Amino acid sequence: MSGDRETITLAEARELALAALTRHGCDKANAEAVASVMLAAEADRAESHGLFRLPGYVASLKSGKVDGRAKPAVSRPAPGIVRVDGKLGFAPLAIEMGRAPLVEAARSQGVAALALVRIHHFAALWPEVEALAAHGLAALACTCATPMVAPAGGTKPFFGTNPLAFAFPRHDAPPVVFDQASAAMARGDVTIHAREGKPVPPGTGVGPDGQPTTDPAEVLKGAQLPFGGYKGSNIALMIELLAGALIGEVFSPESGRSGPADGGPPVGGELIIALDPERFGAGTWGERVESFLAEMLEQPGVRLPGARRHLNRAETGETGVYVPRALLAEIRDLAGVG
């Protein structure tokens, strides 16, 4: 692609990511897990969670904050609970190791939860819930972060962007999946707007003076705002309690007070809840879901959440990904590639 972007294949992007991660301290298992989630985002053209994140991953490795060779430990404190201690590594490998026991527990109990602790989560949440939907399970996932978002009525960072992801399986069709921040805009998108010199929509955040602004650089120095005022703020609060207090992990303000400010992922936890529709006695739930969704889609302009990502995924496999030249140069440098 001409201009300020270059086209590379997903395979080339993966090799660059693996090279950069292993060069700066990741072992093979952790590098492959991290690269997989970044490339899943690139394939879906969710740029703010793709290769854009690689310099942050590397910064965390170089700072010593993250153990790139961590070996997560899985335990079962209760029949319906799986707990994975990430050993201060990146989240993707811990999630992979917890998935199989979570699926088994959900099928056995009907409902099960995966508590991920002492992890550094820096990716989108939809890969974990979509993977569970592929096993025929409905799923919810949430995680905290460092303070970036002011609570409703406030002007100072307190909550993380505290995303919530949801997936529901379908028969012979892609699952319904959404992944959304409780902030009005994802942090990565604000950062990309600042990098490209584009204003953000009104209501995205406030500057250091507490006044509303559409300048993304000022929002990054000030505070983001929750979507829908108190509604988004309430969801952010719920996630702090679920992914913090419930599983014995840090709240966003506590995370922000620990570790170097290297631009990489904070330490914290994630909660994933899986539900097996087959165990709820609903019988023809699959047929009812299809009928319901078909009726919704009869309205012009309506689409299912996640549908655009699936279209992007199919197209990207043929066209490759369009990476900003400056970012690609930085990644090649991190990978030790000329």
Query: Does 202 map to a domain?
Result: no
Q: How confident is the model at residue 1 (pLDDT cuts 50, 70, 90)?
A: very low
At 136 the pLDDT is 97
Whether 189 is a known active-site residue: answer yes
Query: Does 18 map to a domain?
Result: yes
Which uninterrupted H or E stretch holds 2? none
48, 63, 135, 310: which is the annotated catalytic residue?
48
Query: Does 156 map to a domain?
Result: yes
Alpha-carbon span 87 to 91, nearest angstrom:
10
Alpha-carbon span 90 to 37, nearest angstrom:
11
Query: Does 73 map to a domain?
Result: yes
Number of alpha helices (DSSP H) and beta strands (DSSP E) in the chain: 12, 12
Alpha-carbon span 52 to 32, nearest angstrom:
17
Note the pTM of the prediction, 2 decimals: 0.93
Whether 75 is a known active-site residue: answer no
Whether 49 is a known active-site residue: answer yes
For residue 152, pLDDT beyond 90: yes
Tell me what the mean pLDDT of segment 291-303 comes to.
Answer: 97
**Number of structural domains, the chain?**
1
Which uninterrupted H or E stretch holds 199? none
The amino acid present at 56, given as its one-letter code, is G
How high is the mean pLDDT of the chain? 94
Query: Does 34 map to a domain?
Result: yes
24, 44, 49, 121: which is the annotated catalytic residue?
49
Query: Does 314 map to a domain?
Result: no
Q: Which domain holds residue 175?
A: 5-183+226-292+321-335
44, 179, 189, 276: which is the annotated catalytic residue?
189
Query: Does 179 map to a domain?
Result: yes
For residue 213, pLDDT beyond 60: yes
- CATH code, 87: 3.30.1370.60
User: Could you count the other beta carbons within 10 Å of the beta carbon of residue 170?
Assistant: 15
* pLDDT tens-digit map of 59-109: 999 999 899 999 999 999 999 999 999 999 999 999 999 999 999 999 999
Query: Does 210 map to a domain?
Result: no
Instruction: Estimate to the nearest angstrom the gap between the alpha carbon of 318 and the chain centroid.
Output: 25
